[in-house]
Amino acid sequence: MSDPKNNQDDHLRPHVYDGIQEYDNRLPNWWLWTFYGAVILSVIYWFSFYDAQIMESDTTRIDEAMAKVEEARLAAIGEISNDTLWQMSRNPGFVAAGEAIFKEKCVACHGPDLKAGPGLAGVNLVDDEWKWGNQPISVYSVVTNGSPDKMSGMQSWVNELGPQKVSQVVAFVLSHHTEQEMADATTLNPPINLKTPPVAK
Amino acid sequence: MKAKSKLPNLDTVTTINEDGSRFNIHPADVRGRFTRWRRIAALLLIGVYILLPWIPVNGYPAVFLDVLHRRFHLFGITLAAQDLWLLFFFLSGMAFLLFYITAFLGRVWCGWACPQTVFLEHVFRRIERFIEGDAPARRKLDAAPMTPPKLFKRVLKHGIFLILATIIAHIFLSFFISIPQLWEWIRTSPVEHWKAFFFIIITTLLLYGNFAWFREQLCIVICPYGRFQSALIDDDTLNVAYDYGRGNPPGSVKNPEAGDCIDCRRCVQVCPTGIDIRDGVQLECIGCALCIDACDEVMEKMNYPKGLIRYTTENELEGKTSKLLRPRTFGYGAVLILMISAVIFTIATRVPAKMDVLRDRGALFSFNGEGRVENSYTVKIQNMSEVPQTFSLSVDGLEDMRILTDTTVTVSSGENLSLPTVVDVPPEALVDTNNDIRFYAESQPDSLIKLETESRFVGPRPR
């Protein structure tokens, strides 16, 4: 039988726990190499994810996924109110969809920078003055039902766009404002409301 | 400073030299009943590994973990990603099954059924033996300088190892990708499916590195089961053990003081993890029983009774009797039964479908030609079973409420169907502007699946 003790009591480490002691044997070299590899990898990882941000971090991916979930939730909301319109205006998916619609339908009168200006029929949408009310629901009402000024105001868009796209384009306009700033803005007429429900397509 | 041979001891791991470098084990050939039975078991297991994705059960392979579509087919049961919580009971059940078996039979899993042992001992080591010769020849070849014959043997061996690793990687992938899809990928350019190609390359390299070089290090240093097995076994557990009462002290036959062990060291030479079983149960031991066969062969030649090394328990070696029934086996058994019952119960009572109802946004309500109030909804029904299901849809909550659109709908397996649905009610039945209603869906014709979900019905203020 082989000698159970290998005459290496000099390798014995001084600490004792419950009568158990340990030998100071060397770690396997392959183990050490995986350790060194992990150290090097952690530096590369830290650099590419956190410093240079070459790689997309999990936080970014989760934020994007959550924005999509939020977009689906907002799209499913049955009621339009100041609160829900503000939420939509903070959702990148909603705003991006709204921007696309704006560029197609609205630029002709409101201009590419939303400021309208000389020669364009629309009102400035990024200043601190609102024509039909300094509330999101007023903006939504004007887009949906058209301007109360039937002679020279904007047409109704709900039949052409449908309620979903109307809320997207309003979200895009609102994304240029903050809640406080809009509340402080002036309105030329008393704020209007969505008196009649939008007609379903 | 690589030693050519080493004396195993309890203070160091034989396969790791004092300077941290690797000591390669070359186990000697061995013949005997356990070796034969182990080989049969291994061939059967390899057959099972290969065939599982090929045997159809209920229209799907017996085991098909379809990660792409997040559907998991296990012996005729189809689970969706929503059923992931079942995995808790399944995995804990498997863990306690392993605990239970370990309490009785020690590391029988490691020696007989673990894929690491099955492929290493019965595939890769056999090829190595065939190309490079027996243990002394392999040691000589290791020490020899690189000459054309040695280079030829090494290239041949590693070439075959790489091919085998590729095949095993494909078998592994066939559990996750359907066989026709895998065949399609094999025949087309890697550029079209580079992720799967990359996965195969990485898996192949890992398998090759493991079976060509890493080998017993996985069992000794990495495998967690090996680490906590000493907490699972006790003095009544069946282990591969040396009968020290009969064998000690080891010595020559001529020595009248010596026991039955003639100190021939055959048990050490055949050990794939490089230990001396005569030092007692050790963490490196994978219970492969090769030392039993080696020792029995010697005992037979010496005309001594067999079984100096055998499957036995610590208590039996001390002359006591072993008990099968003990608190440990009862405890592991109870938890095991609990977990198995939980898996069976949850799978049996699982509803393989799901219904959601969304009220259409925009329109609150409208009046139809009959003067009734209309609301529209999108009903979503997801069929998670493996066959198409027909559902009949009904609604409840207000008097004389009707569904005007289709109420019978067939959803194919795995489909998530959106069904535009219009519901109407006479104005006088309205209780409030906002009424709670419930949608029901029942599978037809057997009504085995019953789904229900809440929604609301909006109307004008009741007079």
Among chain B residues, the shortest Cα distance to A28 is held by B20
Over the stretch B314-341, which tens digit does the pLDDT of each residue have? 999 998 888 888 888 888 999 999 998 9
Indicate whether A199 belongs to any domain.
Answer: no
Does A75 share its domain with A152?
yes
The bridge status of strand B366-367 relative to strand B389-396 is unpaired
C-alpha distances (whole Å) from B113 to each of A141, A163, B40, B282 are 71, 63, 11, 20
* Eight-class DSSP state of A20: B
Identify residue B12 by its one-letter amino acid code.
T
CATH architecture for residues B353-458: Sandwich (2.60)
Indicate whether A107 belongs to any domain.
Answer: yes
Per-residue pLDDT at A85 exceeds 80: yes
pLDDT at B206: 95
Instruction: Report the helix count and the strand count for chain B, using DSSP H and E.
Output: 16, 16
C-alpha span between B344 and B364 (Å, rounded): 46
pLDDT at B2: 47
Query: What distance in Å separates residue A125's CA from the closest CA in chain B?
Result: 24
ipTM of the complex: 0.72
C-alpha B54: how far from chain center: 17
pLDDT at B243: 94
Does A181 share its domain with A134?
yes
3-class SS of residue B74: strand
Indicate whether A192 belongs to any domain.
Answer: no
* Eight-class DSSP state of A21: -
Q: How confident is the model at residue A197 (pLDDT cuts 50, 70, 90)?
A: very low
Could you identify the residue written with the tokens 């012996």?
B75
Contact indicator for B403, B377 with CB cutoff of 8 Å: no
Is the whole-model pTM more than 0.90?
no
The bridge status of strand B353-359 relative to strand B434-444 is unpaired
Structural domain count, chain A: 2
* End-to-end C-alpha distance for chain A, whole angstroms: 91
Contacts of A190 (CB under 8 A, 6+ apart): A133
Does A42 share its domain with A82?
no
Over the stretch B60-114, which tens digit does the pLDDT of each residue have? 888 999 888 888 888 888 888 878 888 888 889 998 999 999 999 988 999 999 9
Mean pLDDT (chain A, rounded)? 83
Q: Does residue A35 belong to the interface with chain B, where contact is any CB pair within 8 Å?
A: no
Chain A contact probe: residue of B1, B12, B243, B361 with most A CBs at under 10 A: B361
Q: Does residue B268 belong to the interface with chain A, where contact is any CB pair within 8 Å?
A: yes
Indicate whether A134 belongs to any domain.
Answer: yes
Q: Does residue A15 belong to the interface with chain B, where contact is any CB pair within 8 Å?
A: no
Indicate whether A28 belongs to any domain.
Answer: yes
pLDDT at A8: 52
Per-residue pLDDT at B4 exceeds 80: no
**Half-sphere exposure of residue A8, counting CA atoms within 13 Å on the CB side?**
17
Does A24 share its domain with A73?
no
Average pLDDT value for residue range A76-104: 86
Among A4, A26, A29, beta carbon nearest to B279: A4
Over the stretch B130-186, which tens digit does the pLDDT of each residue have? 999 999 999 999 999 999 999 999 999 999 999 999 999 999 999 998 888 899 999
Average pLDDT value for residue range A33-43: 96
Burial class from Cβ neighbours inside 10 Å (0-12, 13-18, 19+) for residue B245 reads exposed
Query: Structural domain of residue A31, as residue ranges?
Result: 9-51
Mean pLDDT (chain B, rounded)? 89
Does A172 share its domain with A88?
yes
C-alpha span between B286 and B112 (Å, rounded): 9
User: Which element (helix H / strand E) includes B96?
Assistant: helix B86-105
Contact indicator for B391, B442 with CB cutoff of 8 Å: yes
Q: What percent of chain B has pLDDT over 90?
A: 50
Kindly report the CATH number assigned to the domain that includes residue A97: 1.10.760.10
DSSP of B153-190: HHHHHHHHHHHHHHHHHHHHHTTTS-HHHHHHHHHS-G
Using left for φ > 0, alpha for ψ between -120 and 50, and beta otherwise, residue B70 falls in: left
Within 8 A of A143 by CB-CB distance, chain B residues are none
Over the stretch A120-159, which tens digit does the pLDDT of each residue have? 888 889 888 888 888 898 899 889 888 887 777 888 888 8
Does A43 share its domain with A102?
no
C-alpha span between B353 and B368 (Å, rounded): 33
Average pLDDT value for residue range B415-425: 89
pLDDT at B270: 95
pLDDT at B5: 65
Over the stretch B276-303, which tens digit does the pLDDT of each residue have? 999 988 889 999 999 999 999 999 999 9
Q: Domain-by-domain residue ranges, chain B? A: 1-350, 353-458
Per-residue pLDDT at A78 exceeds 70: no
Among A4, A27, A201, beta carbon nearest to B9: A4
Nearest C-alpha neighbor of A87 from the set A170, A1, A162: A170
Q: How confident is the model at residue A10 (pLDDT cuts 50, 70, 90)?
A: low
Over the stretch B201-244, which tens digit does the pLDDT of each residue have? 999 999 999 999 999 999 998 998 888 888 888 899 999 999 99
C-alpha distances (whole Å) from B300 to each of B250, B266, B306 are 17, 13, 7
